[in-house]
Structure 1
């Protein structure tokens, strides 16, 4: 396929030439499915659209031709602006529109009646379009689907939902061609299989290696903490030296605290903004507009800016805190010098002494072009349940045909008919324990086809589509007569701790809590006061398996000349006092300190797994009468303290016993109830919205807790409980990673008994998030304290 002459002439007038991978996409235009892996700034999005522009140039196609799907609403608006430039410049008769949650009701209705040639949308908006009765008409002429940043979608249930939608589109539009676009793919064949059977991989020239290093600072990093405040003067100096800098953080709370402290030291009043997902849409729009116009020297940000927006003037990326994941780091690095064959420049800023080693491991992985990523499991069944409900909203369906369609979706290629039928039965009746309730009798079979029992239910089902689970948050507004300026959101749990007069950070400004009115937090600006800090929701990443393995290899290398002197000296001291953790072995240290006995297990299994290890090991200690008092976990270690020394750590680490203990603990735990709530919302058992009104987090939690307890009591084999258990084991407690660690070490346990904390253990005493153990140890402490009090009073 060749470019239309008008488009070629316009490219020539701009001095633009097609890159090899862009020409290759034109050559492959007729292929059923292609995954293009090209570096950030390499024009991969345009490459995905070129065949569509060529096919639409003659103006003969009527209706929707190409669907572009992005994980971000902001990305669709950015793509629309960028795509319209060549289309309008070349005078091509092509209508391009976007459809997201921000699209007005009038526009959405018009798009259904008269679809544009190219529609830019998100998985959630596509789900809504597909569950209307007129979906067959809307998508009848669809020829191509482009999935941008497909790696990001593949990491969550949004991707599973989207692949089911693509299977539905293929049934409505036979001959549909798929294109996946990504810059960071650790396993291209696996991602290609996710996009669909037979997908071919097109690998573009990766371009030059990034210019990436650790930031050199006068002050060494602290022993613990995650704010990297020691480096702010050096970071400000880098901002002065560059046009535009993105300063990435791993959590929203860290970004807020850092931005506040950065402003206190910003004596030259450099224009710096803040951007994260808890801020209001208006505030994010203002920051993005200022960035596009070149009015900002830096933005303190989180994962909200990880993906795709094309800001060519960004010439430096700073990652504050260890990146935890090489793929995410590479994605963030790509935000700098968003141009083809221009090296991206980035600096890593470790927040504490241990993170220096992790940053060094990340630098080695980037240099070796080794990305990390966990293998994906099969498509989740709660998402399939929602898809079956959405399919019924559009029209009655044949179960055999729908099953045949579903298994063409990559994540569901291995789905058994038995599991499909379990999902269908749940959607139709609610399952054994709930089938007596009309509320969950949603489908019926008539003329060999399944349909909604009550067609009016379609409205509520559509309102509850999607796999993004909202955190329980409350809107924050400045107090004012007209409702006040929206600032963003804070967690409901955090808001419940506030009393009038308390202050906290949001959007980089200190505000005072005045009160709660109609589920909205009212505040006034309160500059110049030390704030309480809002603990915003946001993913707390665990260090990847690959990075953990690289850290262990650095420990064993012995030559630490690449590390700062202070960190190399620290590791040397560790070898003199104890030993360093080694690959394939488990280092366990035990020592007494301040009337407590400590046990440190260096598992390097990630925070969730190390937390689970602490929970299960202390339970084993309790069973053995060893009186544990608490534990704290990081990505690399679990430290337990109690009243008695542990004679044999291996006795705490039997895999079969740990799994049995975990099963017992999970049964009635709040972790499971929280997981059940999320699963039940996605599967359609619990409504998030009813008749246009959003339920509060507390309402949904209350409903889910009652349902969870009911099912456990009367229907322990219920599908929702099975999904919940699998989700909790995989995500929240990460037991699979703990099991993999135990399998890897076998009986190779290095138990070192010390008379004081080792250099590697000492920072653990400063870690936040200590978990107390309620048990015999606490009781013994209370008894000892009572006895001492009686002795002091002369009574005994």
Structure 2
């Protein structure tokens, strides 16, 4: 089935085509294909083989295949690898990539003279569809290949992409869609997302290959009770680096990666070449590390999710995950970076950062062995992305609302969008909504006499294009070496920069730097030889333990013994069972005990960090309503600890789901969470512009304008579309209330309160957890009254003299 030129290339390399690659050729004419193949199994080549075969047999000019990648670096890597068979087989095929890093001159040329294969990202594709000449550029497009589709399916970038594909499908009715992934927990759900609704999508599953060689790193020192740095394991990690060619050391946050890299370097007495890679570093810095990896010059790279996806980075033969992975699918993806070859087992080690993470790591190891992936289904497509898509359509020229609505229904996440919802989005794009319709800046669309909609001012198309995308950047400032023309180092958050005083030191790119000042919105730094820096608080992604992994941990607790756990952790759980009990599936364990002169309550909800923190806020509010006196709380992935003045004797009323939800509504209305969520959704929907005239607003400017808008809408138009979207997004994302609801519905009234005389073993780490949140309320008043009473008793008075009361 391969043309002679390609078959000859395989023969010269001594390769045989893999069965799943052969299947992709056999199904090349199918309208929709989803290929699930193991990392290193040649799935990207499988996605491109039908394209190469078609162009080898019938050469042609113009765009034939569009490849979509979630990462700019992945698109560049695929181009490099794809050119090998094209050049060695002598195929007349031009391959180019188009991302935010592509020069403007090349972008203009690509629109006029597109290559046969174009590699791009969801944002660049959305931008391409916004031009009036898009139908000419995409004329003749035959195939779209979406790589690492699982990564896009979990975010608004995936929603944006599927709307763009629906637009392409209308331009090119015969367009064939291909999705590629190694980690799909629900193939049918991903297939529905990829397909043109309601068309079916064929699912091809390759041989999963050998089991990965994955275990927990054995260390001389036991993990600490709390913390996320895993500094205790550095000697053992360094020993593993010495024993392997190239090791990727993954972290869940950028700050943890910086700290670990710094400590690893201090312990690196043999001066092994070690690098660091994460999204806050300057692009030039990242590219140097990537090039060194490809050349095999680095023995280890401390990294974050920036190296998660399917890039082939040199001769990596070991992956180390620092900290519990929180998500099995993410762990499998990271494991696949090692021995990135077909039918070669990946090798990985897990390093728990603290005692509880030992349990979570073992649960994750068992899930990988059972090939049980996890994932949270996102549900309906968000409407802020829908609003952006309407504005993109308007940039391309006049449109018919009925036809645009029908087009949107083809995108799986929007298949059940009703006409009233679409019309509300269209009205918002046209006028900004009831409270804003008097302002010219939000009068963006008008309806012509022939019924078509168009931009009110054609010049606004440029501003809309400048703000296309769903990725919400954190408010960051560039960091450079001091002096004119100082080299860039990366970025830090505005909030962190504002906390710095001249002379403060912090880590960036593994180097300790000294803050010298702020110049033209750039942080200037100099070198510093200090050994203990102030740490930059990179925002990054705060992962929460998945529902499936939490349930697996609860099932582990039901075992009589734990031979799979280290002795220190098994003894800890055994002691918990003696002193109290272990949490169970389908039940909610509540512990109550005195400590440090206060009453303590611990609820083991196992709902993930965001949800448990939200639960802490809501429970303290409910305790106030019940006449109790909470003073503060702290949350982890598995529990919330509340301290106060009164012991809880009946916790069931506190977990009344209707009252918790009502409390959430009240809390959200005046909370900064809503303003932050509003700002993100309003930016995506086009109400707020981050980029105007080539200039980018600072985070402070954007926050001020969004806060003013939010307060205005709450006061004058409380049912505004953007406020509806904000509430939906806050409930779904930041506060994760759905997991609280699921927990309450799962346990119903099966709530077990145990009154203990002292701190339980399982609750002990919570007392060391950072991020304690104080509660101002009746506890403050009661403590003040007690202090006054004590003073009166000491003075022998039953009440304060009138003059003292007045003062």
**Separation in 1, partners of 2:176, 2:677:** 36
Aligned equivalent of 2:575, options 558, 563, 573: 573
Q: Does structure 2 conserve the Cα–Cα contact (< 8 Å) formed by 1:509 and 1:527?
A: no
Q: Does structure 2 conserve the Cα–Cα contact (< 8 Å) formed by 1:271 and 1:297?
A: yes
Identify the range of structure 1 (429-438 vs 395-404) with the bigger mean alpha-carbon deviation.
429-438
Q: Does structure 2 conserve the Cα–Cα contact (< 8 Å) formed by 1:312 and 1:336?
A: no
**Separation in 1, partners of 2:787, 2:769:** 27
For 1:84, the equivalent position in structure 2 comes to: 83
Runs of 4+ in 1 over 4 A off after TM superposition: 785-796
Residue 646 of structure 1 aligns to a residue in which SS? coil
For 1:441, the equivalent position in structure 2 comes to: 443
Q: Does structure 2 conserve the Cα–Cα contact (< 8 Å) formed by 1:37 and 1:202?
A: yes
Task: Go from structure 1 to structure 2 and tell me whether the alpha carbon gap of 1:529 and 1:216 turns closer, same or farther (over 3 Å shift).
Answer: closer
Q: Does structure 2 conserve the Cα–Cα contact (< 8 Å) formed by 1:319 and 1:347?
A: yes
For 2:459, the equivalent position in structure 1 comes to: 456
**Separation in 2, partners of 1:334, 1:60:** 36
For 1:191, the equivalent position in structure 2 comes to: 190
Cα deviation, residue 330, structure 1: 0.4
Q: Does structure 1 conserve the Cα–Cα contact (< 8 Å) formed by 2:336 and 2:346?
A: yes
Tell me, yes or no, if structure 1 residue 656 matches structure 2 residue 655: no
For 2:483, the equivalent position in structure 1 comes to: 480
Tell me, yes or no, if structure 1 residue 493 matches structure 2 residue 495: yes
For 1:179, the equivalent position in structure 2 comes to: 178
Aligned equivalent of 1:469, options 457, 472, 481: 472
Residue 433 of structure 1 aligns to a residue in which SS? helix
Q: Deviations over 1:405-425 (max 9, x none)?
A: 111111111111111111111
For 1:623, the equivalent position in structure 2 comes to: 625
Cα deviation, residue 781, structure 1: 2.6
Q: How does 1:68-467 map to 2 (within 5 A)?
A: 68-196=67-195, 197-446=199-448, 447-467=450-470
Q: Deviations over 1:336-362 (max 9, x none)?
A: 010000000111101111111001110
For 1:561, the equivalent position in structure 2 comes to: 563
Cα deviation, residue 789, structure 1: 6.4
Q: Deviations over 1:739-785 (max 9, x none)?
A: 10011111111110011000011111000010110111123334444
Identify the range of structure 1 (275-284 vs 645-654) with the bigger mean alpha-carbon deviation.
645-654
Cα deviation, residue 26, structure 1: 0.6
Q: Does structure 2 conserve the Cα–Cα contact (< 8 Å) formed by 1:389 and 1:461?
A: yes
Q: Does structure 2 conserve the Cα–Cα contact (< 8 Å) formed by 1:429 and 1:443?
A: yes
Q: Does structure 2 conserve the Cα–Cα contact (< 8 Å) formed by 1:131 and 1:390?
A: yes
Tell me, yes or no, if structure 1 residue 603 matches structure 2 residue 609: no
Cα deviation, residue 792, structure 1: 7.2
Cα deviation, residue 306, structure 1: 0.4
Cα deviation, residue 547, structure 1: 0.7
For 1:702, the equivalent position in structure 2 comes to: 704
**Separation in 1, partners of 2:114, 2:619:** 59
**Separation in 2, partners of 1:79, 1:793:** 81
Q: Deviations over 1:395-437 (max 9, x none)?
A: 1000111111111111111111111111111101111111111
Residue 598 of structure 1 aligns to a residue in which SS? strand
Task: Go from structure 1 to structure 2 and tell me whether the alpha carbon gap of 1:19 and 1:306 turns closer, same or farther (over 3 Å shift).
Answer: same
**Separation in 2, partners of 1:277, 1:40:** 23
Q: Deviations over 1:232-266 (max 9, x none)?
A: 10010111111110000000011011111111111
Residue 448 of structure 1 aligns to a residue in which SS? coil
Q: Does structure 2 conserve the Cα–Cα contact (< 8 Å) formed by 1:224 and 1:766?
A: yes
Q: Deviations over 1:623-643 (max 9, x none)?
A: 222111000000100000001
For 1:12, the equivalent position in structure 2 comes to: 11
**Separation in 1, partners of 2:499, 2:155:** 32
**Separation in 1, partners of 2:793, 2:510:** 54
Gapped regions of structure 2 (runs ≥ 5): 801-807
Q: How does 1:747-758 map to 2 (within 5 A)?
A: 747-758=749-760
**Separation in 2, partners of 1:40, 1:717:** 47
Residue 329 of structure 1 aligns to a residue in which SS? helix
Residue 177 of structure 2 aligns to a residue in which SS? strand
Query: What's the RMSD between the two structures over aligned residues?
Result: 1.2
Q: Does structure 1 conserve the Cα–Cα contact (< 8 Å) formed by 2:295 and 2:314?
A: no
**Separation in 2, partners of 1:29, 1:793:** 92
Cα deviation, residue 376, structure 1: 2.4
Cα deviation, residue 192, structure 1: 0.4
**Separation in 2, partners of 1:272, 1:281:** 18
For 1:584, the equivalent position in structure 2 comes to: 586
Cα deviation, residue 787, structure 1: 5.6
For 2:803, the equivalent position in structure 1 comes to: none
Q: Does structure 1 conserve the Cα–Cα contact (< 8 Å) formed by 2:192 and 2:200?
A: yes
Residue 681 of structure 2 aligns to a residue in which SS? helix
Tell me, yes or no, if structure 1 residue 53 matches structure 2 residue 56: no
Residue 363 of structure 2 aligns to a residue in which SS? helix
Q: Does structure 1 conserve the Cα–Cα contact (< 8 Å) formed by 2:293 and 2:314?
A: no
Task: Go from structure 1 to structure 2 and tell me whether the alpha carbon gap of 1:782 and 1:473 turns closer, same or farther (over 3 Å shift).
Answer: farther
TM-score of the aligned structures, taking structure 1 as reference length: 0.99
Q: How does 1:668-707 map to 2 (within 5 A)?
A: 668-707=670-709
For 1:534, the equivalent position in structure 2 comes to: 536
For 2:805, the equivalent position in structure 1 comes to: none
**Separation in 2, partners of 1:46, 1:788:** 79
**Separation in 1, partners of 2:570, 2:411:** 50
Q: Does structure 1 conserve the Cα–Cα contact (< 8 Å) formed by 2:2 and 2:53?
A: yes
TM-score of the aligned structures, taking structure 2 as reference length: 0.97
Cα deviation, residue 58, structure 1: 4.1
Q: Does structure 2 conserve the Cα–Cα contact (< 8 Å) formed by 1:62 and 1:141?
A: no
Q: Deviations over 1:541-564 (max 9, x none)?
A: 000011111111111112211100
Aligned equivalent of 1:718, options 694, 717, 720: 720
Residue 124 of structure 1 aligns to a residue in which SS? helix
Residue 733 of structure 2 aligns to a residue in which SS? helix
Tell me, yes or no, if structure 1 residue 521 matches structure 2 residue 520: no
Cα deviation, residue 612, structure 1: 1.0
**Separation in 1, partners of 2:615, 2:515:** 39
Cα deviation, residue 439, structure 1: 1.1
Q: Deviations over 1:127-169 (max 9, x none)?
A: 1111011101000111110000000000100000000000000
Q: Deviations over 1:248-286 (max 9, x none)?
A: 000001101111111111111111110000000011001
Q: Deviations over 1:9-58 (max 9, x none)?
A: 11111111110000111111100010000000000000000111111114
Q: Does structure 2 conserve the Cα–Cα contact (< 8 Å) formed by 1:244 and 1:314?
A: yes
Q: Does structure 2 conserve the Cα–Cα contact (< 8 Å) formed by 1:312 and 1:338?
A: no
**Separation in 2, partners of 1:793, 1:75:** 75
Gapped regions of structure 1 (runs ≥ 5): none
Residue 57 of structure 1 aligns to a residue in which SS? helix
Q: Deviations over 1:79-104 (max 9, x none)?
A: 01100011011110000001011110
Cα deviation, residue 794, structure 1: 8.9
**Separation in 1, partners of 2:282, 2:351:** 28
Q: Deviations over 1:199-250 (max 9, x none)?
A: 1101011001101111111111001111111111001011111111000000
For 1:24, the equivalent position in structure 2 comes to: 23
Q: Does structure 1 conserve the Cα–Cα contact (< 8 Å) formed by 2:475 and 2:494?
A: yes
Residue 260 of structure 1 aligns to a residue in which SS? helix
Q: Does structure 2 conserve the Cα–Cα contact (< 8 Å) formed by 1:66 and 1:142?
A: yes
Cα deviation, residue 312, structure 1: 4.7
Tell me, yes or no, if structure 1 residue 505 matches structure 2 residue 507: yes
